[in-house]
Structure 1
Amino acid sequence: MKYDYLVFIGRFQPVHLGHLQVIEAALGLSHKLIVICGSARQARSPRNPFTLAEREAMLRAALPPAWQSRVFMVGCSDRMYNDQQWITEVQNLVDKVIAVDTASLGHRAAEFRVGIVGAGGGSPARQVHYLELFPQWQREQAAEWPGVDAATLREALFAQQGAHFAGCRDKLPTAVYEWLHRFRELPVYAQIAAEHDYLQSFRRAWADTPHPPTFVTVDAVVIHSGHVLLVKRRSLPGRGLWALPGGFVAQDEPIRDAVIRELKEEARLKVPAPVLAGSIRASRVFDHPQRSLRGRTITHAFLIELAPTGEGLPKVRGGDDSDRAQWVPLFEFNRMEEQLFEDHFYIVNWFLGQI
């Protein structure tokens, strides 16, 4: 074998025949394969409908018995605004898998031949860009399965309650196709399908514009005595998820005024607007192209640090688009990645690194 371990990074939403083709090619080159499953702790959405455990269940159902002991799957967070953190997490995960797998041998992970594999054609435009982020691992390119991509499969699964999903049978391992049919019977499927339909309707409302619209929003990261202020979303998309107070910028207001207005409307924060404005410590634009399923949405986020007054945490309550507002201890917030809307978990963590 050319390698002791190959690394395969993807989201596997869902596992399809293209993934299995890469795995087969990888196992022809290496003794074992480490599958890094991205978006491992993202809240459910039409783009990330399956949990890490569900994706591993799909993968295990699809793998032949002879491959089971040769394939490992571990989850990785997206680290949307910090590539170096993401690279470090991937490296650590690979190191830990190898360390556990070879514990009885007494070798260090660095002593093994490790490579990284991706799917794509031979032209530079088809190369998987993240392969270049790991120069210490030799790259291998596996052939793509023509006409198969996870986004199309998700669309067929959730559009019109999966009316056309049967047409995807030839793009999925039989065991995964059956697994997804069982998933359609669960209450969570109906919730995701409803969000899918809402987002489709939202996009259709803007379909006749000369150019695809770019939305401008604001988000408030309010910190007080080791707590962050969150609201629970009342409406789609993201109904029931925790989020930062924020929303769309009105046509007639400056961005800084918009964040104060949204903060007062959504959290009913009992702090005067001039005090909030004077407590802004930093701001940053967060513009990842995939940060929102509503379309291209650029948010201006503001860090607001409130000073202790001896009266405890200011009173808050849900209002406008939120069912509830709550001060969350930061140690608890760091365990809530799966409960946060869109990229709000990563926005807060970016600001916490600046404090």
Structure 2
Amino acid sequence: MQFDYLVFIGRFQPFHQGHQYVIRQALQHAKQVIVLVGSANSPRTLSNPFDFFERCSMILGSFATDDASRIICVPLADAIYNDNRWLLDAQRCIMDNTDDGANIAIIGHDKDESSYYLGLFPQYGSFLVENFENLSATPLRHAYFGDDDAARDRAYARMTDASRQFLQAFMQTPDYAALKQQLGEIQRYQAAWQHAPYPPIFTTTDALIVQSGHILLIERGGDYGQGLYALPGGFVDPHENLLSACLREVHEETNLPIDAQTLTSHLKASQTFDAPKRSQRGRTITTVYYFQLPATAQLPVLTAGDDAKRAFWLPLAKLDGQQMFEDHYSIICKMLGI
């Protein structure tokens, strides 16, 4: 074998024949194949509809038993606003599953998004393969959640047998129904501005409020992001500046019993977050205000309002990216340095 390990990095949402082709090539040239399954800490959304274990099942089920025994699936978390954190996690994933002195390379294409990964690991070699029929998971995923049965059948034809069987079974689950409902909410939202002369850019603000090792969160109501935890925040009204909008949203969604002037006196920092795909509803840029309240033996009582189902204090140790709305987990980690 040319390599001890070949490493394939991707999200595999879902796993299709193009992914299978890359791993088959890897199996021919390496003793073992490490598959870093990205976005492993993300909640179930239309962009990331399948969790780590479901994707592992599709991947390993797409190969004969002997080949599957040589494939190691490893979860890799997102760190949207911290490239060094992501690289550190990826390096650890590789080192924890390889032997010292092993011959390791990153496998991928040289003319698609996977080529980005090839340049991030100079300590390893790279092994280039062709892009099998230029397949991409994004249009296949769109067809799967769409209403065009013929398009969905064409997408199924590009899946592996294991992926197709999983996807057909997944369609019968409450999770699929919830994602379809979320898609409808997004489509209704986008329909409101579909005749605009150019795609709008939305401006929002969010509040990151910490006290005594706890963070103030809401549980979202409504169809979009229902049940996920989020920072209190929302859209900026035409007459407001950003900080005023943030303070208003905190009051409306949590009824935090601290007046705006006092809360502002505890403002530690603010930062703008503008990842182009941070919201599925459309291009949305948010400014987050970080307030550090004085330590106290009893946290302020909260009462949910507006579109928040619940307002609550969560210990920082219980933060879980899989439970957080959009990029809010990455925002919290970035601003708090955790």
The TM-score with structure 1 as length reference comes to 0.91
Distance 2:155 2:241 in 1: 48
1:284-295 to structure 2, matched below 5 A, reads 284-295=271-282
CA distance in structure 1 between the aligned counterparts of 2:182 and 2:240, rounded to whole angstroms: 30
Task: Give the superposed CA RMSD.
Answer: 1.6
Partner AA of 2:310 in structure 1:
R
Give the Å deviation of 1:78: 0.6
1:187 shift after superposition: 0.8
Q: Residue 292 of structure 2 aligns to a residue in which SS?
A: strand
- Separation in 2 of the partners of 1:113 and 1:6? 9
CA contact (8 A) 2:22 2:108 kept: yes
Matched length: 338
Is 1:320–2:306 an aligned residue pair? yes
Query: Quick one: distance in 2 between partners of 1:172 and 1:150?
Result: 10
The answer to whether the 8 Å contact 1:5/1:114 transfers is yes
- Residue 226 (str. 1) matches residue 213 (str. 2): yes
Task: Please say if 1:343 is aligned against 2:327.
Answer: yes
Confirm or deny that 1:80 pairs with 2:67. Answer: no
| Correspondence for 1:117 among 104, 107, 112 | 107
**CA deviation map 1:251-296 (0-9, x unaligned):** 1100010100011111111111111111111000111112111111
Q: CA shift at 1:322, angstroms?
A: 0.3
2:67 maps to 1:67: yes
Rate the CA distance shift 1:140–1:87 in 2: closer, same or farther, 3 A.
Answer: same
Q: Which residue of 1 aligns with 2:222?
A: 235
Q: CA separation in 2, counterparts of 1:287 and 1:59? A: 33
Q: Which residue of 2 aligns with 1:29?
A: 29
Alignment partners' CA distance in 1, 2:183 and 2:265: 40
Corresponding residue number in structure 2 for 1:103: none
Alignment of 1:90-101 (within 5 A): 90-98=90-98
Match of 1:160, SS?
coil
Q: In 1, distance between residues paired with 2:254 and 2:54?
A: 35
| Alpha-carbon spacing, 1:330–1:309, altered in 2? closer, same or farther (3 Å) | closer
Distance, in Å, in 1 between the alignment partners of 2:334 and 2:240 is 26
Report the counterpart of residue 14 of structure 1 in structure 2. 14
2:155 — aligned with what?
168
Letter in 2 for 1:26: A
The Cα shift of 1:120 comes to 4.2
Q: Is the CA contact (8 Å cut-off) linking 2:61 and 2:68 kept in structure 1? A: no
Distance 1:126 1:288 in 2: 16
* Letter aligned with residue 176 of structure 2: Y
Matched, 1:273 2:257: no
1:196 aligns with 2:186: no
What's 1:106 paired with?
Answer: none
Selected match of 1:139 from 126, 147, 155: 126
Name the counterpart of 2:142: 155
> Quick one: which amino acid aligns to residue 326 of structure 2?
E
For the 8 Å contact 2:74–2:93, the answer to whether it is kept is yes
2-structure distance, mates of 1:208, 1:67: 51
Contact 2:219 2:228 in 1 (8 A): yes
Q: 1:6 and 1:147 mapped to 2: Cα distance?
A: 21
The 1:167–1:127 alpha-carbon spacing in structure 2 relative to 1, beyond 3 Å, is closer
Residue 291 (structure 2) aligns with: 304
Whether contact under 8 Å (1:161, 1:193) holds in the other structure is: no
Q: 1:23 to 1:181 in 2, by over 3 A?
A: same
SS at match of 1:155: helix
Contact 2:186 2:281 in 1 (8 A): yes
SS at match of 2:157: helix
1:314 alignment partner AA: P
What amino acid does structure 2 have at the position aligned with 1:279? H
Compute the displacement of 1:11 (Å). 0.3
Per the alignment, residue 316 of structure 2 pairs with 330
- Could you tell me how far 1:126 is from its partner in structure 2? 6.8
Give distance in 2, aligned partners of 1:180 and 1:95.
33
Residue 145 of structure 1: how far off its partner (Å)? 1.9
| Residues 212, 296 of structure 2: 8 Å contact kept | no
